[in-house]
Amino acid sequence: MFTHQSKVALGAALMVLLFAIPAMFGHASAVTVDVSIPGFSFSPSTVTVNVGTTVRWTNNHSISHTTTSTTALWDSGILAQGEQFSHVFSSAGTFPYLCTLHLGMTGTVVVYVCGDANASGGDPAVDIDDIVFLINYVFGGGPAPVPLAAGDANCSGGDPAVDIDDIVYLINYVFGGGPAPCANCL
């Protein structure tokens, strides 16, 4: 593994890439992701979203349901057919929920930060450890970010979505005062 000193040296050395490789810059926009209640289930039962995303549940079933966080983050109360409830996810993490009327109805919202390739969370979520993680992934055969899109710091998408441009982008952000990772890297 890398020592702190070697990570700093690595970051400093890779600064030269900033002048050799043009970074691509992503876009930021508010996003809403829909979850349907078509019956005695949530569909899809797991959604993976960026920080700042609004998740909107719609009860499309003929009887009432709720969407209720198991950690008291949100509670829709009873939703009759056709009613909706929205919640903005402003921090990274894995958030389970259920319907309080039918406890077998469960779902999960996974929230992550673009650029937080190692899923460390915390403050700052995006730091030199993510650069090292991506270098190890792109050049060293190391583990991929989970979800992979979390490593697509410049929101380039494409194939591969995570490549040297994302490493350069993060170096520029962490060491060069460059723009933060894009907001929607799905």
Q: Is 61 a residue that touches Cu ion (CB under 5 A)?
A: no
Least CB distance to Cu ion at residue 81 (A) = 12
Q: Is 17 a residue that touches Cu ion (CB under 5 A)?
A: no
Least CB distance to Cu ion at residue 104 (A) = 9
Q: Which is nearer to Cu ion, 26 or 107 (CB)?
A: 107
Q: Which is nearer to Cu ion, 65 or 87 (CB)?
A: 65
Closest CA to 163 of 50, 51, 28, 23: 23
Q: Which is nearer to Cu ion, 57 or 169 (CB)?
A: 57
> Which H or E run includes 4?
helix 4-14
Q: Which is nearer to Cu ion, 53 or 59 (CB)?
A: 59
| DSSP assignment string, 21-76 | SPPP-------EEEEEEEESEEESSEEEEETTPEEEEEE-SSS-B--EETTSS-B-
Nearest-angstrom CA–CA distance, 183 and 180: 9
Q: Is 65 a residue that touches Cu ion (CB under 5 A)?
A: yes
Least CB distance to Cu ion at residue 89 (A) = 21
Least CB distance to Cu ion at residue 59 (A) = 8
User: Which amino acid appears at position 119 of this protein?
Assistant: A
Number of residues that bind Cu ion (CB under 5 A): 5
Q: Output DSSP code: residue 111.
A: E
User: Which amino acid appears at position 36 of this protein?
Assistant: S
Least CB distance to Cu ion at residue 183 (A) = 32
Q: Which is nearer to Cu ion, 21 or 78 (CB)?
A: 78
- Omega within 30 of 0 (cis) for the link into 124: yes
- How long a stretch of residues is the chain? 186
Residues 73-132 touching Cu ion, rule: CB under 5 A, are 99, 101-102, 105
Binding site for Cu ion (CB under 5 A): 65, 99, 101-102, 105
